[in-house]
Chain A
Amino acid sequence: MGQPLSEKLSNSNFLKTISLVGFLVNFLFTTTAQNFRDTLRLPLFEVKSAGISDVRGFKKSTLDSVMLIHHLDADLSKILSENSTIFIKSYGNGTLATPSFRGTTAQHTQVEWNGINLNSPMLGQMDFSQIPVSQFDEIEILYGAAGISKTSGAFGGVINLATNPDWNQRLKVTLAQTIGSFDTYFTNLNMIAGSQSFQSHTKAYYSSSLSNFPYYNDYLGAEVRQQNSSYSLAGISEELFWKIKDKHLLSGRVWYNYNDRNLPPTASQYDQNHIEKQKDKTLRSILEYKYVERNFNAVVTTSLVDQYMNYQSDSTWNSTHQYYSWINRARFSYHGVRNLTIKPGLDFTRDWVHSDSYDGIKTRNTTAIYADIRYNFKDIVTTTLILREELVDNDFLPLIPALGLEFTPIRNIDWKISFNLARNHRYPTLNDQYWILAGNPDLKTETNYSTEIGTGFRRLSPNQKFFIDANVSGYYSWIYDMITWLPVEGSNLWKPENIDEVLARGFEVELTLKGDVSDFLLSLTNNYSFCRSTYAQANFENDNKIGKQLIYIPVHNLNTTFSVERWKFFLNYNFCFISDRYTGKDNLSLMPAYSLSNFLFGKNFTLQNFILSLQFEIDNIFNLDYQSVANRPMPGLNWALTLRFSFASPLKR
């Protein structure tokens, strides 16, 4: 069986244990599907092994494709807000959605697609509403210092969107069509074709919506429909994977994304003649070579990102921003010496920006050297030391070190305890430095000290009918010199300054239970986070923010998903609770807590190699009239009907 190369990279006993559990779970529950892998039956029981990033002593979690299959029509913001502890601040349906991860701002969460950074070098953040779920196979979440293995500056963490070759497929086609409330349509085509050594994956999507949902407008004192809210999103990606003798893997990826959206007015700006729109065109391409040997492997990547953005509002604004990023990464891994693994790396990125908001063209070169040194003591303790040094243009950032420890106290029991300590730095964004009239060239880097302790337990019952996965982790993180945009006296300008000191601490609990009870496959997944992220310093005479929670960061965030499957019927209930979010640094004003319930129901019809799947989804079943961000209406009850057709012809073994 052709295993993914990444899985071959892990050779420790511990990972083998996990893989074994994963394999057993898969094996147990897939045998019922006979010769055809019914992917829709898998979600309950797939347990991933090492995944893409192998971080030890640091926290990582994975949401995989089989779990995503019911949500091909969704964007990343929906998936994460329903299935992770990351809080998503959404400005409305299909409009800006930004993350807050472990009490940090959107700029402290880095999003990567197969190892390349998607955050704009200008704004330093990513709009999660721009990424359709159908575009990747797996979401990997690296918490806090775990992100140092990828990049600098991700104090909250890194979200890695990965696509993986499926060497088992000769041909697999999935075609899905969704029709939903407010004239929402989503069409998706995924096609995999190839042999055991060559694979081609094609993904194409088109979605459009009027998104003119009704809501109660407090300023007008009447129920109205959202205005100027339609959008369309289209994209296509092509990925080619070529494997030579299980030693060399060459891959090429291209992804083009086009998004044309009208931006709705706020509730208080409600105007039937509102004109505001944004157009984004992004082309991302990656060329990668991987070499795998028993004790040595290497990955070399080069990629190019071309992003165009145009914003127009009425007759007042029309601005265009264009950037190119050339991103290069080389990673090596060597474990020739007993119990010692050394992974050096080198990154080089060049950003080139032409923006109406900058005075001329701005560029930035970032060079980083990286080393990950790991030592394993008798398979009980693994220590990881990560060192990263960056050079931005002519500025050396202070060293970024991270130390992780992982204990596996009892042999053959998948129970681990991990601990880590790290220092991280974030360099100012190009907007921070160059925004016309506001950019501050004297900004320093932000500094973050963090520590984390966690424990995780996984067990598959001896009769192989029940599975539990439980994790608890606590973190404590201090951010110095945090960059905040402040008003400039006597003008309407804002300017970034290194003034804030923030203390973020909290804990996360994740619990997954799966079971087979009289052939009913049951699953319950829970994610809870408690986060206190507060200002540690005041900056002005009347500044009333010391010890107060940062705005728009909830203290409690809980989501839970219950699903049951039987007779090829599936039913899925998702519940999210978001506690109060303050809207003032003095914590005197707030957005009240809300909870949402989503419901999904469907049936698969299988005939030989074909699956026809019909699914009905109702989001916000209690028709809650809520807002995630003040003054930005969100849709009430809405539904979506999806018809999905797939055909798979696996390779004969």
Chain B
Amino acid sequence: MRNPFLSLFFLLFLALSLISCSKLSLREKSPGNDPDDTSSKPLSYQHGIFVVNEGNYTWGNASISFIDSLGNSPIQNIFQTENGRNLGDVAQSINIFDSLGYIVVNNSNRIEIVDIKTFKSVKTITGFFMPRYIEFIDSSKAYVTNIQRGISILDLSSGKISGIIPVNGWTENLVCLGSHIYVSLIGEFKEPSSGRKPQIIVIDTQTDKIIDTIPTGKEPIGMVLDKHQKIWVLCSGGYDNFEIPTLMRIDPHLRKTEVVFKFPTGQSKPSRLSINPSGDTLCFLNGGVFRMSTDSPGIPVHPVVNADGRFFYGFAVHPRTGDLFIGDAIDYVQNGVVYQYSPHGQLIKQFVVGRIPGAFCFAPGSNR
């Protein structure tokens, strides 16, 4: 060519044209949802533990990790793998009824129903108001708590929302006892703690009517039933540190508060109240993991598992083995770690999971 400038010109242009145009999937790739990743998947998800990785708010990266009954390294993102689509935004919890798993996806306002064996989607139910947890009444009915508007009533046979029990604000945990269900109500989401009226509401599951309320401390974020059929309620004291956190015991039949334990001040916020298989020991997070007998005269001072620079975010007690499962969210912007500890705090195993491991679900066949 006559001019060196000109040759350079066209060479560059040619090179650029070559880089361009290639048909790719341009969505987020993460372990378990990479189409190029062909690692083996189990034949069945029936006997294992599901770890609910919340994912980051609005990032749409919620996922489920699966730990099989042999405790092999977890399989990531199984919903995506089995269904070819993402789970959604902020997965809150899973609950299993019969052979179906109900995954509550908070910020996508939906529940994904999957077959526990295959993890294939059976149905997607939409129309919730930032749902939190699901509890089953019988084979035809379930209740779903929401951050807004009230408790959704689910018709399990049709897979449709059949109604709503209107409640002012954010409903959280559910405990079913006889023909009543006890639901913790935190209060109006947009109000500060001072303006919220936290309580346990008692609903007659036959009529779907609220028949009574029991006031609680601010922000009742945990509720379990012990072996004496007493309800324990963990109150964080409010996101704005309105009051000292409390743990209260309620007699569900008399609908009266029996005991209120105040947490020592100056500690971080307690969360994730759980109970051991025999129903006599409460466990919760408060920095580290704490165990407390239901007969204890006060809140324990020493943790059974120290946090040691870890960020314990998710927690549950295995309903059959009593092992402690802890989710370390690290700084929320990387994949988390799940620890399995013995009931008395011996580390058994640790697993790398997905983003922000918050909740666990132990499939009926999981016994380790």
Kindly list chain B residues whose C-beta atoms are within 8 Å of the C-beta of A589: 28-31, 61, 335, 355
In contact, A468 and B331 (Cβ under 8 angstroms):
no
B213 to chain A, nearest CB (A): 23
Chain B residue at minimal CB-CB distance from A580: B29
Q: Decide if A515 touches B337 in the complex (CB within 8 Å).
A: no
Among residues of B, the one whose C-beta sits closest to the C-beta of A622 is: B21
Q: How far is the CA of A271 from the CA of B58 in the complex (A)?
A: 13
Q: Does B60 contact A (CB under 8 A)?
A: yes
Give, as a whole number of angstroms, the nearest-CB distance from B333 to chain A.
Answer: 5
A153 to B108, CA, bound (A): 38
Q: Is the CB of A524 within 8 A of B58?
A: no
Q: Which residues of A467-516 are within 8 A (CB) of B?
A: 468, 484, 486-493, 511, 513, 515
Knowing A583-B28, A590-B29 touch, does A541 contact B328 (C-beta < 8 A)? yes
> Smallest Cβ distance from A319 to chain B, in angstroms?
10
* B70 contacts the other chain (CB 8 A): no
Chain B residues closer than 8 Å to A595, beta-carbon distance: 19-21
> Size of chain B's interface in residues, with CB distance under 8 A?
63
Q: Decide yes or no whether A269 CB sits under 8 A from chain B.
A: yes
The answer on a CB contact under 8 Å between B287 and A584 is: no
Contact B20 A588 (CB under 8 A): no
Is A149's CB within 8 Å of the partner chain B?
Answer: no
Is the pair B30, A513 in contact by a Cβ cutoff of 8 Å?
no
Contact B3 A219 (CB under 8 A): no
A268 in contact with B88 (CB, 8 Å):
yes
Contacts of B313 in A (CB 8 A): 487
Main secondary structure of the interface of B (DSSP, over half): loop
Q: Are B334 and A584 in contact (CB under 8 A)?
A: yes
Restricting to B316-367, which residues have a CB under 8 Å from any CB of A? 328-337, 355
CA distance A588 to B84 in the complex (A): 20
Which chain A residues border B8 with CB–CB below 8 Å?
513
CB distance from B129 to the nearest CB of A (A): 10
Does A544 count as interface, using CB distance less than 8 angstroms? yes
The one of B9, B148, B240 in contact with A524, judged by C-beta atoms closer than 8 angstroms, is B9
- Across the interface, do B86 and A218 meet the contact criterion of CB distance under 8 Å? yes
The distance from the CB of A363 to the nearest CB of chain B, in whole angstroms, is 24
Interface flag for B190 (CB, 8 Å): yes
Q: In the complex, what residues of A have CB within 8 A of residue B24's CB?
A: 592, 594
| A630 contacts partner chain B, Cβ-Cβ < 8 Å | yes
**Contact indicator B285/A490 (Cβ below 8 Å):** yes
- Residues of B with C-beta under 8 A to A487: 311, 313, 329, 331-332
Pairwise interchain contact B286-A490, C-beta atoms closer than 8 A: yes
Measured between beta carbons, the chain A residues less than 8 angstroms from B261 are none
> Quick check: A592 and B25 within 8 Å, CB to CB?
yes
- Within 201-231 of A, Cβ neighbours of B (below 8 Å) are at 218-221
Asked if A607 is an interface residue, CB under 8 A from chain B, the answer is: no
A631/B89 contact (C-beta < 8 A), A540-B330, A540-B331, A589-B30 known: yes
List residues of chain A with CB within 8 A of the CB of B266. none
Which residues of B have CB within 8 Å of A123? none
Q: A544-B334, A589-B355 are in contact. List 7 more A-B contacts (CB 8 A).
A: A315-B190, A316-B189, A486-B332, A489-B287, A490-B236, A513-B9, A631-B58
A/B interface sample: 20 pairs, CB < 8 A: A218-B86, A220-B85, A266-B89, A268-B58, A269-B58, A269-B108, A315-B190, A316-B189, A487-B313, A491-B239, A522-B9, A524-B12, A543-B331, A545-B334, A584-B30, A588-B334, A591-B27, A591-B29, A592-B24, A627-B26
